[in-house]
Amino acid sequence: MRHDNSSPKSDLPQGTLDLLILKIVTLGPIHGYAIAQRIQQISRDVVQVQQGSLYPALHRLENKGLLAAEWKESETGREAKFYRLTAKGRKQLKEETESWARLTGAIGLILGSEGDAN
Amino acid sequence: MTWLRRLRNNTQVEAQLDAELRFDYDQRVAANIRAGMSESEAQCAARLAFGGLEQIKEECRDARGTRWLLDLWQDFRYALRTLRRKPGFAAVAILTLALGSGATTVMFTVINAVLLKPLPYPDADRLVTVNEATEKYGDTWQLSYPDFIDLKSASRSLAPAAWGYKGGTISAPGDAEHVDSVQISSDLFSVLGVPLLRGRAFGPQDDRPGAPPVVIISYRVWQSRYGGTPAAIGMPLVLDGNHYTVVGVAPPDFQLAGEVDVFTPLGQTTDPRMQNREAHFLPAVARLRPGATLAAAQSDLALIGHNLAGQYPKSNVGRTFQLHPMLEAAVGGVRPLLLLLLGAVGLVLLIACINVASLLLARAVSREPELAMRVALGAGRGRLVRHALTESTVLALAGGALGILLAAVGVRPFIALWPGALPRAEEVHLDWRVLLFTVAVSLLTGTLFGLAPALRTSVRALNQTLRAGARSSPGGSRRLHSAFVVSQIAMAVVLLVAAGTLGRTPLRLSSLDPGMNVHNVLVARVALAPGALTNPAQSRAAWRDVLDRARAVPGIESATLSDIIPMREGQDELGYWTTPVQPPTSQLPIALASAVTPDYLKVMGITLRKGRFFTDQDRTGNVVIDEVLAQHAFGQTDPVGKRLFLQEMGPTTVVGVVGHVRHWGLADDDGSQLRDHLYFPFAQVPDTFMPVFSSFMSMAVRTSVSPLTVVEPLRRNLRGTGGDQAIYEVRTMEQLASRSLSRQRFLMLLFGIFAGLALLLACIGIYGVLAYLTSQRVPEFGVRMAIGAKAGDVIQLVLRQSAGMIIAGVVAGILATMAAGRLLERLVAGMRPAEPLTFAAMVAVLLIAALLASFVPARRASHIDPMSALRQE
Sign, CA dihedral B758-B761-B763-B765, equals negative
pLDDT digits (tens, 9 = 90+) for B424-479: 877 888 888 888 988 898 888 888 777 776 666 555 556 666 565 544 454 556 77
The pLDDT-based confidence of A7 (bands split at 50, 70, 90) is very low
CB contact under 8 A, B60 and A59: yes
Going from the C-alpha of B267 to that of each of B121, B180, B197, B217, the distances in angstroms are 25, 18, 23, 17
Residues of A in contact with B26 (CB under 8 A): 78
Question: Does residue B113 fall inside a structural domain?
Answer: no
| Closest by CA position to B207, among listed B263, B126, B156 | B263
CB–CB of A80 and B65 under 8 A? no
**Whether pLDDT at B6 is above 70:** no
CA gap A55, B522 in Å, rounded: 91
Instruction: Give me the pLDDT at residue B190, please.
Output: 92
CA-based nearest distance A76→chain B, Å: 9
- Chain A interface mutation, best of B56, B58, B61, B70, highest count of A Cβ atoms under 10 Å: B56
Q: Could you please report the per-residue DSSP string of B562-585?
A: ESS-TTSS---EEEEESSSSPPPG
Same domain, yes or no: B309 and B347:
no
Decide: residue B543, CB within 10 A, 0-12 exposed, 13-18 middle, 19+ buried: buried
> What pLDDT, on a 0 to 100 scale, did the predictor assign at position B462?
60
Q: What is the 3-state secondary structure (H, E, C) of chain A?
A: CCCCCCCCCCCCCCCHHHHHHHHHHCCCCEEHHHHHHHHHHHCCCCCCCCHHHHHHHHHHHHHHCCEEEEEEECCCCCEEEEEEECHHHHHHHHHHHHHHHHHHHHHHHHHHHHHHHC
Percent of chain A with pLDDT over 90: 20
Q: What whole-number distance in Å separates Cα of residue B379 and Cα of residue B243?
A: 87
Indicate whether B445 and B491 sit together in one domain: yes
Question: Would you state the pLDDT for residue B461?
Answer: 59
Global pTM reads 0.71
Q: Which of the four pLDDT bands, split at 50, 70 and 90, describes residue A118?
A: very low
Distance from CA of B50 to the nearest CA of A (A): 6
Fold classification of A16-117 is: Arc Repressor Mutant, subunit A (1.10.10)
Three-class SS state of B636: coil
Q: Provide the Cα torsion B823, B825, B831, B832; round to 10°.
A: 100
Cβ separation A56–B24 shorter than 8 A:
no
Q: A23, A97 in Cβ contact below 8 A?
A: yes
- Closest to A31 (Cβ–Cβ): which among B23, B59, B62? B23
- C-beta of residue A22 within 8 angstroms of C-beta of residue A91: no
What is the tens place of the pLDDT at every residue in B91-136?
A: 888 888 898 888 889 888 888 888 888 888 889 899 999 999 888 7
pLDDT at residue B480 tops 90: no
Q: Is residue B321's pLDDT more than 60?
A: yes
Q: What is the mean pLDDT of residues B847-853?
A: 84
Q: For B614-681, list the strands marked E by DSSP.
A: 622-626, 643-646, 650-658, 677-681
**pLDDT tens sequence across B745-798:** 888 888 888 888 888 888 888 887 777 777 777 778 888 888 888 888 888 888
* B89 occurs within a structural domain: no
- Residue B680: which of B689, B672, B671 has the closest Cα? B689
Return the higher-pLDDT residue of B50 and B435.
B435
Alpha carbon distance B842, B261 (integer Å)? 50
Q: Are B494 and B632 contained in the same domain?
A: no
The DSSP-derived string for B28-52 is HHHHHHHTT--HHHHHHHHHHHH--
Residue B7 and residue B61 share a domain: yes
CB contact under 8 A, B16 and A79: no
Q: Which of B707, B230, B769, B684 is nearest to B483 (CA)?
A: B769
Asked whether residue B642 is domain-assigned, the answer is yes
**pLDDT confidence of residue A8:** 47
Please give the pLDDT value at position B464: 62
Which residues of chain B are within 8 Å of residue A55 when distances are taken between CB atoms? 20-21, 24, 56, 59-60
CA B282 vs CA A9, A65, B14, B149, B185: distances in Å: 96, 69, 76, 12, 10
Nearest to A51 among B56, B63, B64 (CB): B56
Domain boundaries, chain A: 16-117
Give the pLDDT score at B430: 83
Residue A51 and residue B65: Cβ atoms within 8 Å? Answer: no
Residue whose C-alpha is closest to residue B661's, from B557, B740, B729: B740
Q: What is the DSSP letter of B420?
A: S
CA–CA dist B75, B493 (Å, integer): 38
Collect all residues of chain B within an 8 Å Cβ-Cβ radius of residue A56.
Answer: 56, 59-60, 62-63
Going by pLDDT thresholds of 50, 70 and 90, the confidence category of residue B3 is: low
> What percentage of chain B carries pLDDT values higher than 90?
29
**CB B452 within 8 Å of CB B480:** yes
Q: Are residues B701 and B754 in the same domain?
A: no
The CA distance from B180 to B651, in Å, is 35
Element (H, E) at B129: strand B127-134
- Cβ atoms B361, B477 nearer than 8 A: yes
Mention every residue, 6+ apart, whose C-beta is less than 8 A from residue A31: A74, A80, A81, A82, A83, B20, B23, B24
Under the banding of pLDDT at 50, 70 and 90, the label for residue B802 is confident
Q: Are B177 and B227 in contact (CB under 8 A)?
A: no
Provide the pLDDT for residue B1: 43
CA distance to partner chain A, nearest, from residue B58 (Å): 9
Q: Which residue stretches of B185-325 are H helix?
A: 188-192, 219-226, 294-311, 313-316
C-beta atoms of A55 and B16 within 8 A: no
CA distance B65 to B50: 23
Task: For residue B789, give the 3-state DSSP assignment.
Answer: coil
pLDDT per position as a tens digit, B669-725: 887 888 999 999 999 888 888 888 888 899 999 999 999 999 999 999 988 777 778
Residue B698 has what pLDDT? 93
Those residues of chain B whose CB sits closer than 8 Å to some CB in chain A are: 16, 19-21, 23-24, 26-28, 30, 49-52, 55-56, 59-60, 62-65
Closest-CA distance of chain B to residue A107, Å = 32
Three-state DSSP state, B481:
helix
Q: Which of B24, B59, B65 sits opposite A32 (nearest CB)?
A: B24
User: Over the stretch B861-873, which tens digit does the pLDDT of each residue have?
Assistant: 887 777 776 666 5
At residue B7, the pLDDT reads: 60
- Closest CB to A52: pick one of B27, B55, B64: B55
Residues B501 and B605 in one domain: no
| Residues of chain B neighbouring A59 (CB-CB closer than 8 A) | 60, 63-64
For residue B656, pLDDT over 70 is answered with yes
**CB atoms A52 and B56 under 8 Å:** yes
Helix (H, G, I), strand (E, B) or coil at B759: helix
pLDDT of the residue at A79: 86
Determine whether the interchain pair A33/B27 forms a contact, defined as Cβ–Cβ distance below 8 Å: yes
Note whether A80 contacts B20, CB cutoff 8 Å.
Answer: yes
Residue to mutate among B12, B21, B25, B27, with most A CBs inside 10 A, is B27
Confidence of residue B5 (pLDDT cuts 50, 70, 90): low
Q: What is the pLDDT of residues B203-233, one digit of tens each?
A: 999 988 888 999 999 999 999 999 999 999 9
Looking at the fold, whether B350 and B309 belong to one and the same domain comes out as no
Q: Is residue B579 part of a domain?
A: yes
A33 reaches B (C-beta below 8 A): yes
**B695: domain range?**
529-724
User: Residue B465: what pLDDT?
Assistant: 60
Residues of A in contact with B27 (CB under 8 A): 33, 76
B592 sits in which H/E element: strand B590-596
Q: Is position B46 within any domain?
A: yes
Nearest to B858 by CA among B815, B810, B785, B797: B797
* Inter-chain CB proximity A59 and B50 less than 8 Å: no
On whether both B183 and B291 belong to a single domain, the answer is yes
Nearest Cα residue in chain A from B19: A80
The length of chain A in residues reads 118
Residue B25 in any domain: the answer is yes
- Per cent of chain B over pLDDT 70 is 94
Evaluate if residue B526 carries a pLDDT over 70. Answer: yes
CA–CA gap between residue B499 and residue B327 (Å, rounded): 31
CA distances from B866 to B366, B774, B779, B789, B791 (A): 22, 14, 8, 10, 11
Query: Which residue on chain B is closest to A37 by alpha carbon?
Result: B28
Q: Does A68 touch chain B (CB under 8 A)?
A: no
DSSP H or E run through B453: helix B432-456
Could A71 and B60 be called an inter-chain contact, meaning their C-beta atoms sit closer than 8 Å?
Answer: no
Compute the Cα dihedral for B556, B558, B563, B568 and give only its sign: negative
Structure confidence by residue, pLDDT tens digits, B563-595: 999 998 877 888 899 888 888 777 888 899 999
How close, in Å, is residue B68 to chain A by CA atoms? 15
Q: Are A72 and A44 in contact (CB under 8 A)?
A: no
On average, the pLDDT of chain B sits at 85
Judgement on whether residues B60 and B183 belong to the same structural domain of the protein: no
How many angstroms separate the Cα of B681 from the Cα of each of B253, B567, B686? Answer: 41, 21, 11
DSSP H/E element including B698 = strand B698-703
pLDDT above 60: residue A60: yes
Tally of structural domains, chain B: 4
Q: Does A26 touch chain B (CB under 8 A)?
A: no
Would residue B119 count as lying in a domain? no
CB contact under 8 A, A59 and B30: no
